[in-house]
Structure 1
Amino acid sequence: MSPAPPPSSHQSLTSDSDYPIVTIFVLFAIACMAILIAFMHCDWIRHLFSYEEEREVFDSIPIFIYGSSGNEYEANLSECSICLDEFATGDELCVLPQCGHGFHVRCIDSWLRKHQSCPNCRQTLVAAP
């Protein structure tokens, strides 16, 4: 009969003492994922409601065609301060009612998606609730 092999000097890689640590790590990872998903969902809902509010603000701003007759705004308007292009006959413009500054519709629409104020004077377009 041959002698028994000597005992191993290192423990098994999956010992019973590792299970609580692995379980805690997995539960922590699941909790982090749940928090991240909840945050993204809340951010999506907040964006959805703010988009509706932005559309209401934008829809309340008067739009007119530059060069059309009988427009009292044209005398004070020469260029869009967002894109820096001069207004040309036929351009669609918005004039902000709070301050009277005018912009191309495409420019102010992009601006109002990110801000709720005039790009020139920073006057707020939406009254606080």
Structure 2
Amino acid sequence: MSDIPADLKYIETHQWVRISDDGTATVGITDFAQEQLGDVVYIGVPDLGITVNGGEEAGVAESVKSASDVFSPVTGEVIAVNEALEDEPEKVNDDPYGDGWLFRVKLTDQGELEGLMDAAAYAEHVAAEG
């Protein structure tokens, strides 16, 4: 079974979001997603300063097996991107919930978080897909 941290929120397309005390949100792909992709060779992230919309495409993850769109779980302005992934995209495979994070946003609507899955609901979603 994939690792599913309880302190994160999830969306059906296998992205996670971690809300910081300052109200910013860090986004990445889940352990399940990186397992399905295989060895990640490229990560495309949104540009700094743009607004990403919850549930909409915000990047791409490419592996030796396939390419997959990356969706943003939340709406907000992109305030940081994980530049280390440019040279080391495999960080997504090695540490999807840590060093493999993709981008950070300044949330525009905290209420959006209510519609996201918690760890238990995401685990059920993954089990149903498997």
Normalised by the size of structure 1, how large is the TM-score?
0.22
- Tell me: higher relative CO, structure 1 or 2? Use CA pairs within 8 A at least 6 residues apart: 2
Normalised by the size of structure 2, how large is the TM-score?
0.21
Q: Which has a greater percent of strand?
A: 2
Q: Which has a greater percent of helix?
A: 1
Q: Which has the larger radius of gyration?
A: 1
